[in-house]
Every structure is written in structure tokens, then in C-alpha cells.
Amino acid sequence: MPNPTARPSPKARRATLDDVAQCAGVSYQTVSRVVNEHPSVAAATRRRVLEVIDKLGYRPNRAARSLVTRRSNTIGMVSFSTKYYGPGQMVVNLETALRQRGFSLTLTTLDGPSLAEMRRAIDELTARNLDGLVIITPVAGIDFGAVAPLCGDTPFVMIDALPDERAHSVVIDQAQGAGLATEHLIGLGHRTVAEISGPLDWHDARFRHEGWLAALRGAGIGPGRSVASDWTAAGGYAAAGELLALREAFSALFVGNDQMALGAIRALRDADLRIPEDVSVVGFDDVPEAAFYDPPLTTVRQDFQALGRQSVDYLTTLIDAPDTPPHQRVLYAQLVVRASTTSAAAERPARG
């Protein structure tokens, strides 16, 4: 007969902090410090405790922990236009970085880039028990001065924001990335470099446009024609058609993102132009498909994983130390050279 006084098997109940401590041969307090990522634990001890946590399947009691720490371990995020690659990657990588730090995410996506929509989203989020906010602000008209009063005393970090000495923000240097792309074309001997930009009310599009201009002027080269489009392949196709219709020669084309570059390549081919023999093309973002374009696309890679990690690191610093002086953390882009660009030793300008 079963013994009614027997203790239940450890497998029949949820592992506790005491179980981990006993199995790892350390104190309850040491396990607590490991779980709470306290720095004052020896590396070997931390590894041993984490191995036992994994072995026993221990999971912290977040409800009890929040009563002690007065924290919810939840971060709110406001984003805009996640249908586009850049904003979508920001959300995905921020969520991953938050999860790795023990936070859950509450996401609100704006229907439109208006201050009224931003106010609605932040009001909804700050009505909940959140530890902090991440606010992605890619378009003109939504800056630190507008956002800060809406957040009140909730710590927040801005992503894709304009430079502002008052703001806690993290960005990837778009002008630097565009400069790399344009300098690559100049280095190949191109002197007629046209551009298809994104919509210039987006910060990224404007900074990429300015980086293209600055690189050309720095080399003593006048800018070619520029046409603004809408980030889509269809928009890139239409914009390339506009450039060709102008009948102004260009042997190279800088495109504000890879999707528009895909459409532009199709339009150039429809005009019987070869890529890269007649027109070299550079994109921006390095989407996963870029290496499989025909030809594989030279482009600018943004490190969205690093953006996510840096943003979460910055926000957790603000949560722990609200008086942290504001500054903008800047990450840099990387040029990825593939087969869509070639030397212009004998320039073969595009024709309409």
C-alpha cells in the first residue's frame, strides 16, 4: 500500500529555490543572486547553479518576485509600420533581447505616424504595470520633445530617433551606411550615381539620402538625379522608370532599401540594361533574400541584433539608475559586396 505520509517525488512538484541550492551545494541566497543576475557570484559557481536550474527545470516565481522587487518584468513597446523590414527586425530583435534578460513584451503598433496615435499607444501602455518603454520613432514629427511628456516617470529608450542631447536613444548610423555604399561606387570609378530614396519624411530615408550626397560631394562629384519612393519593390520599379525617362546618364544607382532595389533591377532589365555591366546597383538592409537576387545584391547590412541588445541594456540601466545622463548610442553599418556592382573603367551610362 502507498505510504500516506511519504513526501511527493521531486518530479511530481515544481522545483524550488531550496531544491536548486541543495543540489548545487550552495546557499539559498547564492541561488537567488544567480537568478537575479547579481554580479557578485563567482563564474564557476554561477555556471554550476545554472546547470542545476536547467537540470531541475526550475522557473522563478515571477509573481512573488515582483512583490519583492516592485517590478513587473514587463516592457512596453510602441512601433510603426512593422510590415517593412527595418521596423519589423527592430521589434523581433528587441523582443529576443528582452526575453534573454527575463522580460516579457507588450507591443502596440501605431496605425499612423501621428502624435495623437503615439499618445493613445503610450497611454494604453503606461496604464499597465510596466518597468519601462521602448519607442520606435522612424518618422518626422514624433521626437523627444513630443514623446517625453507622454511617458511621465516611466523610463524609456527611443529607437530610430533624431539626435537630441536630452534623449536616451539608440540608432544605427544611416548616413554612414549610405556613405559606404556611395564610396564603394566611386571607388569603382563611377561618376554618374543616381539614387532612389525612401520617403523623405522617414528619418532613415533622409539620413541615407544625406549620406549619398555627402559622399559624392566629398569626392568632388555632382549628385545624379534622385527620386523618392515608398520602400516597396513596386515603388522601386516605378522610380527607376522615372529616372530612365529623364534620359540623363547614370552608370550606378544607390537604392534606399533592398526591396526597392529588387524592383529597380527589374525596371533596368526591362529597358535592356545589364546589371552590373551597364548599371551597378547597391541596396540597403541586407535582407535575407539579397544574396539570392539576380545578380546577388551589393548592399549595406544593419546589425539589428546589436540594436536590440544595446537598447535593452540601455533601458535596464535606466530602470536601475533613472538619473543616468542621456546620450545617444550609435551603431555602424557594414558594406556587403556582391555581384551587382562592378568597375566603371569604361563607363557605360544607362540610357532611357
Q: What percent of the chain has pLDDT over 70?
A: 89
Average confidence (pLDDT) over 186-205: 96
Average confidence (pLDDT) over 172-182: 98
- The residue type found at 171 is V
Strand order in the sheet with 193-197: 226-228, 193-197, 252-255, 280-282
Cell of 73: 518584468
Residue 314 has pLDDT above 90, yes or no: yes
Per DSSP, 326 falls in state P
End-to-end CA separation in angstroms for the chain: 92
Find cell 523627444 and name the residue.
Answer: 144
Average confidence (pLDDT) over 151-179: 93
Residue 127 has pLDDT above 90, yes or no: no
Evaluate whether 260 touches 299 at the Cβ level (below 8 Å). Answer: no
Bigger pLDDT: 285 vs 11:
285
Distances (CA, A) of 154 to 86, 187, 325: 26, 48, 15
Per-residue model confidence (pLDDT) at position 109: 87
User: Nearest 10 degrees: CA dihedral of 316, 321, 323, 328?
Assistant: -30
Residue 274 has pLDDT above 70, yes or no: yes
Q: Which domains does the chain have, with CATH numbers?
A: 10-60 (1.10.260.40), 72-172+304-331 (3.40.50.2300), 174-302 (3.40.50.2300)
Residue 341 has pLDDT above 60, yes or no: yes
Closest CA to 84 of 203, 200, 231: 231
Per-residue model confidence (pLDDT) at position 295: 98
Give 128's contacts (C-beta < 8 A, 6+ positions apart).
Answer: 72, 74, 76, 106
Q: Kindly report the pTM of this predicted structure.
A: 0.79
Cell of 35: 537568478
Average confidence (pLDDT) over 323-349: 88
Per-residue model confidence (pLDDT) at position 69: 46
Residue 216 has pLDDT above 80, yes or no: yes
Per DSSP, 275 falls in state T
Q: Which of 130-134, 149-153, 246-250, 296-300 is least confident?
A: 149-153
Confidence of residue 61 (pLDDT cuts 50, 70, 90): low
Evaluate whether 296 touches 340 at the Cβ level (below 8 Å). Answer: yes
Confidence of residue 8 (pLDDT cuts 50, 70, 90): very low
Planar angle of CA 162, 322, 63, nearest 5 degrees: 115
Confidence of residue 7 (pLDDT cuts 50, 70, 90): very low
Average pLDDT, the chain: 88
CA distance 250 to 286: 23
Bigger pLDDT: 39 vs 23:
23
Closest CA to 281 of 340, 327, 227, 241: 340
Residue 95 has pLDDT above 50, yes or no: yes
Confidence of residue 13 (pLDDT cuts 50, 70, 90): low
Confidence of residue 43 (pLDDT cuts 50, 70, 90): confident
Residue 78 has pLDDT above 60, yes or no: yes
